[in-house]
Each structure stands twice: as structure tokens, then as C-alpha cells.
Amino acid sequence: MTMDVLEKLTILTDAAKYDAACTSSGGSRGPKKGYLGNTSSSVAGCCHSFSADGRCVTLLKVLLTNNCVYDCKYCVNRRSNDTRRAAFTPEELADLTIQFYRRNYIEGLFLSSGVFRSPDYTTELMIRALRLLRETYRFNGYIHAKAIPGTSPDLVEQLGFLADRLSVNIELPSEMGLKTLAPDKTKGAILAPMKQIQTRNQQSKEELVKYRHAPKFAPTGQSTQLIVGATADSDFHILRLTQGLYDRYRLKRVFYSAYVPVVEHALLPSKEVKPPLLREHRLYQADWLLRFYGFRAEELLDEEHQDFNPQVDPKCSWALSHLDFFPVEVNTADYETLLRIPGVGVTSARRILSARRAGRLQIDHLRRLGVVMKRAQYFLTADHKMTDGLRFTPDSLLRSLVAAERPLLPQPELEQLSLFDSAGTA
Amino acid sequence: MIYYYDGSFDGLLCCIFDSYANREVLTAIYCDEDLQPTLFACRTIPTDSRHARRVFRKVAMLSHDAADLLRRGFLTCLPEKELYLYRLVVKLLRDGPGFLRNASDETLYPVLRAVHHLNGEAHLLKGFVRFSELGGVLGGEIAPKNRVLPILRSHFCARYQGETFFLYDRTHKEALFYAAGKAVIRPLEDFQMAPPDETEAHYRLLWKRFYDTIAIKERYNPKCRQTQMPKRYWGTMTEFQGDAYFTAQSSPAAVSDRGAPVGIPAPGTLPESVPSAPESAP
């Protein structure tokens, strides 16, 4: 029965790898005397490695156990799957985290788990492990913990005081999908802890204003994950759901995970189907537009256009259907308008605002301010002049934009792209 | 006029001071180690910390951002950084700090870009540094293009405040030492990491296994990985080391089960040591 840590780590990492969330952004845990660690002070979080699939490795992302009483059709850890099962003891997990952290392999721990016996029982196990790590091993680094739908509120409360971020995974973007593919979960059970985390996080912030040492409840907020491509939901549906989550639940991040077929099932795409990575990429681009660029889901897609154009990114796509909005004069346009120009990101828009106070901007200044001119040149003027010799019609414009993006897209197969290419340096 | 200085930050500030004192316009500033016979007029500037302080205080008074740029700019690997920084200070003293708003300014842009490169490299290295435990002391090595140690100092000292550690910069041959709340950066000509003991080898192996397992085979994308994490960093990272790195000093036998059975072994792994090589991603 005894399994060594190396074997457990292999099984429990393999079982956790489909979770996309791996960030440590926004933490503000300062160093504490007698404790090990802090959270990285930069806004962007800190990547400690990149795995062979190009995804960032920030946290020790493992399951406490991959034993599960649920039978969600899309999941590798479902009850009916014949796979090897393992469970960490709290001591093993704490030791791994501390020793990895000391060697600077990781920024902290991402603890998730299969549902062992019941959601409450599992959460209690997680709390025990995290408490050992925080109190006995005196770990002051980043912890992301998964709140399991159906857990009682007071356990979620305890978990929130140990972790920096909590997440509840929605996984399937519609209730229909949940009913058919995850019969043990309901929409209500998923949204209840989300609401609780949001309210509690808000309260905790108010308490902090009054009492400097009030305990912090999930100080970096909560996130969730949606699986793309396991069900027939459209991009429009997913994006509107995302927008609702940002508006109503104040989520910090929504992650999208292209569905990787792990099982043959009549209700799921066949195992031959490649994960829809380009679609995932487009959703991330649109997500950035929602969070940093002031776009609304309804501007990017509508009932007639339910899915993103695979050839050009969502912002270019929006610009192409709003040609009357352009060209924008960079010397006079306000910040919100500048952000609408394809090829201008949050950083370059701020630089434009700052630079034009020192003098009138010309076209050849813009590249040095970080504007991606191969996209932006069609949509802006500087001092009422466009790039010299630029001629285009709406038709050739589309072709040029597609050509500008093509080298960024993988060929011939779809691969994951860097999320930051077209979204600017947000 | 060409000035030679001793290669220190204060030395550079003194060059700026003396260029004003002597009413000379500089065309080049070189470190006196690179002293070459030249037909042009040149001068060797002695370092005087009082002069240096006066220059720096004047710059900081005009603009804190400029002072920060000056300090950071000196750490960059920009060729002829001394001259660029000198011109930045001259422009600042002549025109005032207004031009600093404009990132596309001709004098400012090269310095900004170099500092951006330095900051970017330091940010990446906050994650990519790997420590090994050697008898209770944590030790690591890096090979950066810019002198990042002064920038990394506060980050690692805060993070490992209860530990004793050092970080060696191979490129610039200097090391950051930290013990009992005190940190110093000292030149260090040569350094070789000792081979690992049992415990250290064990954790290295665990990390390598984690790294190889976390990748999703169906999403294999080496190009994306290399964009995010350029190859020049791989040399000092645990997950890209060869077999010997995972073998403890006391047990010469090679570890047999290094590669992850379900994962994608990182480059640097010998294929024959991985039992599942044929089915792992290409």
C-alpha cells in the first residue's frame, strides 16, 4: 500500500494538469518574521518555468487525492475511469511545497482535489493540509485552493482564511451541459460558494480598513474555469457568461480550457478531435478586451455572429465592422478611444497620453512608443497624416490584417499562442 | 574629448561632473580597463564620492524617474551605456525634466529600452533562478546579460529572510551573499557548484518529474515555450539538466526512473533513460 512520494507526485500532477489556472498575480503578502516567503510584488505574477506545451508553471499544481465519488463524463478522475489512485498525506504535501519553494521552483501551492467521500470531508482534508503548511511549517507564500461545489459555508470560510485565492470551477458553460455531462453537480451548487466568496472577500476588505490586522479572506479574489469545446455552446454564450461573472461576482480571472478528449463517450467529441486551441486563444483575447479595454460582449459578438472569426483577432474584427469610427487622431483622442485602435495596448495608450504632453506626435514616434504599426497604421493618424504611401480599400485591409496575423498563428496545426501578442502588454 | 573612469557608478558620475568643471563635451566614456592608445584627446577621471553625490543629488532633484533611470541604466548591457547616460543627464540639465514624458525622445529611448530589457530579464529571473541546498545553505547560479543582482536583491532577501543563501552571476563574475538579515554583492572570480547530496538529488528529481508530467501532450508546443522562456536561461535550470545532475554524490549508480512515464521529458534528457520515449510527444 505504501507508495513513495515520487509516484504519488506523478499520479496527482497528471490528474491536476487539465486545470488552466496557474497564476500568482496580485498578491501582497509581505515578508513576515519567522516565516518563509512572500508573494511576488509585481502585478503580473511570476512564472517559474514553462512546460513543453508552453503554459506557465507558477504553482505546485497537484490534487490532494484523485479519488472521486463523482462521475463527470469529461474528467480523467471520474469514478468510472480505471486509473491509478493516490493521496498525499498533509505532511508529504507540506514538505514538498516548502522544499520546492526554498529552491525557487515554485511561487506557491495550487491545491485541488477529487471529491473523496463528500465535498465536506474533502474540504476538511484540504483545510488540515493547508493549516499544517501555514501554521506548523510557517509558509507565507501563495496558496490557491479549490472550493468544491456543495461544501458547507463555514468550511469555505475556513479555507478562505488560509488561501490567497479561491476558485470554483464552472467547467461547463451551460446548465444543459452540466445535466448531461456532470450529473452530480448543479448550477446552484456552483454559484453558491462563488457568491459567498465574493461577499466574504468584500467584508474582509471593509474590516481591513477599520482594523489593520483583521484576517484577510482570499485577498487576491477568486477565479473560475470554463471548458471550451466539450459542449455545443457558442463563443457568444461563453463570453456573455464571462461578462456576467466579472460584473456580478467580481471574479479576478476566468480561465478557458480547450477540451482535451480523454475518453470515448457518446455525449462528448470523439478522441480523434484536436483540442480547439485557436478558439481558446480567441476567447482569451476577448477576455482581455472585456477586462482592460472597456469592451462589452455584445459589441464583439451578437446573435448573427455567434463565433469569433478564426482569421483575425476580436479587436481587428470589431474595427473592421466599425470603419466609420476610424481613423483616430492620436494627438487628441481620449484614452478609451485610443484603446479601440488595433495594435494599441494599455501600455502604448498610456505612453501616447504622456508623450503628447511633451510635443506633437508624428507617425514615426509611434513605433517607439510600442504601437504595433503593422496593424495600427490603417486605423490612426498622427498630426492628420497617415503612414506615407499607405493605400488600402476595405477589402485589401482585411487581407493585410489576416496576413499580419498569420505568422502568429501556428501552422499547419493549431497550437496555443502567447496570449499577449495582440492584446498588448496588459 | 574621451574620458576614462574606474568602471564604478560613482566614477561615471564623476565623469559627468568633470565634463562640466572642464567645460568639455564628451564623445566617449570608457572604463580604464579598456584603455587603448588613441590619437584623440583623453583624460582619466579620478573617482571622488563627493562629486558623485552632488551630480546624483542634482539629477534626483530634477526628476526621481531620471535618477532611477540613471541607476538602472548603469546596470544594463547597452553598448556605450556611459555615453547614453551622460547625454541623458546633459539634456536633463539643459532642458529640464519635461522630455522624460516622451518615451520616443531620441536621447531617452535607447536608455528606456535598455532599462526595459534589464527589468524584463530581472523579472524572468525572479522565477527562473534555481537554488540547491548545500549543507543548510542555498546556492544558485545565473548567467544574465544585464547586471541583475542589485535588482534581484530585495526580492530574494525578503523571500528567504530566515535562510542563508548566495546567488552567483557567471557573466559579471559577482555574487550576492545573504545571511542573518544582511546582504552584500561581491566580485567572485570563479565558482563551481558542489555535487548534490541524497536529499538535494531527491528534490531535484521530484521537480523534474513534476515538470515533465504537468505538460499536456495534446497541446505540445515547444515554440511557445521557447518564446516565453528563451533557451539562454535553460542552462542554469534544474529541469533541463542531464542525468548527472540528479545523482547524489554518495551513490554513483544512475537513477533509473528519471523520465515521467506519462509526461514530456524536457530537452537535456537522454532518450534512452526514458522508458516511454516512443509514445511521448515528438
Interface of B with A in 22-51 (CB under 8 A): none
C-alpha grid cell, residue A31: 515578508
- Bridge partners of B169? B142, B174
Per the prediction, chain B carries an average pLDDT of: 88
pLDDT for A183 equals: 86
Judge contact between A82 and A36, C-beta under 8 A.
no
Q: What is the pLDDT of residue B174?
A: 94
Q: pLDDT at position B278, please?
A: 36
- Separation in Å, CA A406 to CA A401, A409, A411: 9, 5, 9
Euclidean distance between CA atoms A236 and A301, whole angstroms: 6
A3 pLDDT band (50/70/90 cuts)? confident
Q: How far apart are CA B83 and CA B15, in angstroms?
A: 10
Q: How confident is the model at residue A255 (pLDDT cuts 50, 70, 90)?
A: very high
Q: What is the pLDDT of residue B270?
A: 41
CA distance A316 to B149: 41
The reply to whether residue A49 touches residue B160, judged by beta carbons under 8 angstroms, is no
The mean pLDDT value for A4-18 works out to 93
User: Which of the four pLDDT bands, split at 50, 70 and 90, describes residue A391?
Assistant: confident
* Cα separation, A374 vs A406, whole angstroms: 12
Under an 8 A CB cutoff, do B222 and A52 touch? yes
Q: What percent of chain B has pLDDT over 90?
A: 74
Q: Do A358 and B105 touch (CB under 8 A)?
A: yes
Note the pLDDT of residue B277.
35
- The reply to whether omega before A412 is within 30° of 0 (cis) is yes
Stretch 219-278 of chain B: residues touching chain A, C-beta under 8 Å: 219-225, 227-229, 237-239, 257, 260-264, 266
Q: Which of A145-154, A265-274, B45-54, B147-156 has the lowest mean pLDDT?
A: A265-274
In this predicted structure, what is the pLDDT of residue A2? 64
The cell for A139 is: 509558509
pLDDT attached to residue B29: 93
Instruction: Say yes or no to pLDDT of A356 above 70.
Output: yes
Rounded average pLDDT over A361-381: 94
Task: For chain A, say whether B62 makes contact (Cβ under 8 Å).
Answer: no
Check whether B5 has a pLDDT greater than 50.
Answer: yes
Q: Which pLDDT value is given to residue B275?
A: 37
Q: Residue A327, preceding bond cis, omega within 30 degrees?
A: yes
Side chain identity, residue A307 = D
User: Rounded mean pLDDT of A13-23?
Assistant: 86
Q: What is the pLDDT of residue B279?
A: 37
Q: Shortest Cα distance from B5 to chain A (angstroms)?
A: 32
Share above pLDDT 70 across residues of chain B, in percent, rounded to a whole number? 89
The model's confidence at residue A426, banded by pLDDT at 50, 70 and 90, is very low
Q: Do B214 and A57 make contact, defined as CB atoms within 8 angstroms? A: yes
| Phi and psi, residue B177, nearest 5° | -110, 140
Cβ A193 vs Cβ A151: under 8 Å: yes
Decide if B123 touches A, using CB distance below 8 A. Answer: yes
* B168-210 per-position pLDDT tens digit: 999 999 999 999 889 999 999 888 888 899 999 999 999 999 9
Residue range B89-103, pLDDT digits in tens: 999 999 999 999 999
Of A18, A47, A52, the CB nearest to B266: A52
Is the per-residue pLDDT at B256 higher than 80? Answer: no
Residue A423: predicted pLDDT = 45
Residue of B123, B211, B260 lying closest to A57 (CB–CB): B211
Nearest to A7 by CA among A76, A69, A77, A87: A87
In this predicted structure, what is the pLDDT of residue B38? 76
SS3 per residue for chain A: CCCCHHHHHHHHHHCCCCCCCCCCCCCCCCCCCCCECCCCCCCCCCCCEECCCCCEECEEEEECECCCCCCCCCCCCCCCCCCCCCECCHHHHHHHHHHHHHCCCCCEEEEECCCCCCHHHHHHHHHHHHHHHHHHCCECCEEEEECCCCCCHHHHHHHHHHCCEEECCCECCCHHHHHHHCCCCCHHHHHHHHHHHHHHHHHHHHHHHHCCCCCCCCCCCEEEEEEECCCCCCHHHHHHHHHHHHHHHCCCEEEEEECCCCCCCCCCCCCCCCCCHHHHHHHHHHHHHHHHCCCCHHHHCCCCCCCCCCCCCHHHHHHHCCHHHCCEECCCCCHHHHHCCCCCCHHHHHHHHHHCCCCCCCHHHHHHHCCCHHHHCCCEEECCECCCCCCCCHHHHHHHHHHHHHHHCCCCCCCCCCCCCCCCCC
Which grid coordinates are listed for A380? 490612426
B108 in Cβ contact with B100 (< 8 Å): yes
> Which residue is it, cell 558623485?
B52
Distance CA A279, CA A314 (A): 11
pLDDT tens-digit map of A37-67: 888 766 678 899 999 999 999 999 999 999 9
Q: Please give, rounded to a whole number of angstroms, the shortest distance from the CA of A378 to a CA of chain B.
A: 21
pTM for the full model? 0.89
Poorest-pLDDT segment among A203-217, B25-39, B181-195: B25-39
pLDDT in tens, B216-254: 988 899 999 999 999 999 999 999 998 889 988 765 444
Banded model confidence at residue B261, pLDDT cuts 50, 70, 90: low
Q: What is the ipTM of this complex?
A: 0.90
* B259 — pLDDT class (breaks 50, 70, 90): low
Question: How does residue A164 score in pLDDT terms, banded at 50, 70 and 90?
Answer: very high
State the Cα–Cα distance between residues A394 and A400, nearest whole angstrom. Answer: 10
Residues 6+ apart with CB under 8 A from B175: B149, B166, B167, B168, B169, B185, B186, B188, B191
Pick the more confident residue, B250 or A91. Answer: A91
The pLDDT tens digits for B52-61 are: 999 999 999 9
- Cα gap A97→A141, rounded to integer Å: 10
Q: Does B11 touch chain A (CB under 8 A)?
A: no
Helix H, strand E, coil C: the string for chain B is: CEEEECCCHHHHHHHHHHHHHCCCCCCEEEEHHHCCCCCCCEEECCCCHHHHHHHHHHHHHHCHHHHHHHHHHCCCCCCCHHHHHHHHHHHHHHHCHHHHHCCCCCCHHHHHHHHHHHHHHHHHHHHHCCEEEECCEEEEEECCCCCCHHHHHHHHHHHCCCCCEEEEECCCCEEEEEECCEEEEEECCCCCCCCCCHHHHHHHHHHHHHHHHHCCHHHCCHHHHHHHCCHHHHHHCHHHCCHHHHCCCCCCCCCCCCCCCCCCCCCCCCHHHCCCHHHCCC
pLDDT per residue as tens digits for the range A330-341: 999 999 999 999
